[in-house]
């Protein structure tokens, strides 16, 4: 039996195995095809098929590549997919984020808290540089920023 004949006979079982390995992830078939491509490049391919070990070999490749965080399948498929999903999530969160509401919450603060938070949020200062520039103790600044952050989180 040739490798192509083997695949024709056993393909559905291999897809089920790939789905089981990945937990029915939508990349399961891609993983299987990656394993098939990898196996087809082996010099001893026909020996593997003739020995009856083709299914074991393919499943083992699938398991190894799925679990690897540094393997070629992970770099080529999983990492790209997760980066795309992360980008979509960030875009969705940014689209849903109500900046007007945040600005309203900041404007409702005491003048001291509001102005100190604006200086800090501008990104030019940390607690120490803000303390040097304003003459306000670093501890007071840290407590104020913490209180404002807590207020914003609570009301968002």
> pLDDT tens digits, residue range 55-104?
999 999 888 888 888 878 777 776 555 554 444 555 555 555 567 777 88
Reply yes or no on whether the pLDDT at 14 is more than 90: yes
In this prediction, residue 50 carries a pLDDT of 92
Q: In this model, does residue 18 exceed pLDDT 50?
A: yes
**Bigger pLDDT: 51 or 121?**
51
Least confident of 27-36, 90-99, 111-120: 90-99
Please tell me the distance from the alpha carbon of residue 114 to that of residue 108, in angstroms, as a whole number. 8
Q: Within 13 Å, how many C-alpha atoms sit on residue 110's CB side?
A: 7
- d(CA 30, CA 28) in angstroms, rounded, equals 5
What was the pLDDT predicted at 84?
Answer: 47
- Residue 41's alpha-carbon distances to 3, 36, 45, in angstroms, are 11, 9, 8
Query: Cα 117 vs. chain centroid, distance in angstroms?
Result: 31
- CA atoms of 6 and 34, how far apart (whole Å): 16
What does the alpha-carbon distance between residue 24 and residue 144 come to, in Å, rounded to a whole number?
Answer: 48
Any idea where the domains of the chain sit in the sequence? 3-94, 99-155
**pLDDT at residue 103 in the model:** 81
**According to DSSP H, which parts of 23-110 are helical?**
28-40, 45-51, 54-67, 72-73, 79-96, 99-107
pLDDT of residue 16: 93
Assigned CATH topology for domain 99-155: Arc Repressor Mutant, subunit A (1.10.10)
Task: Find out whether 38 and 64 touch, Cβ atoms under 8 Å.
Answer: no
Asked if pLDDT for residue 119 goes beyond 50, the answer is: yes
Q: What are phi and psi of 45, to 5 degrees?
A: -55, -50
DSSP state of 41: T
Would you report the helix, strand and coil content of the chain in percent, each value rounded to 5? 80, 0, 20
Average pLDDT over residues 109-121: 87
The pTM score is 0.50
Encoded tokens for 66: 């799925």
Q: Decide if pLDDT at 38 tops 70.
A: yes
Cβ neighbours of 16 (radius 10 Å): 12
Provide the mean pLDDT of the chain.
Answer: 82
What's residue 86's pLDDT?
46
């Amino acid at each position: 039996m040739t490798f192509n004949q083997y695949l024709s006979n056993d393909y559905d079982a291999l897809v089920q195995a790939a789905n089981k390995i990945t937990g029915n992830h939508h990349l399961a078939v891609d993983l299987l095809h990656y394993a098939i491509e990898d196996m087809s490049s082996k010099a001893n391919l026909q020996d593997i098929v003739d020995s009856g070990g083709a299914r074991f070999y393919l499943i083992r490749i699938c398991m190894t590549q799925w679990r690897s965080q540094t393997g070629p399948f992970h770099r080529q498929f999983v990492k790209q997919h997760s980066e795309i999903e992360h980008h979509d999530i960030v875009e969705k969160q940014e689209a849903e984020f109500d900046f007007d509401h945040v600005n309203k919450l900041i404007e409702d603060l005491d003048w001291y808290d509001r102005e100190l938070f604006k200086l800090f949020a501008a990104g030019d200062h940390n607690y120490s540089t803000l303390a040097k520039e304003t003459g306000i103790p670093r501890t007071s600044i840290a407590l104020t920023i913490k209180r404002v952050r807590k207020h914003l989180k609570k009301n968002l």
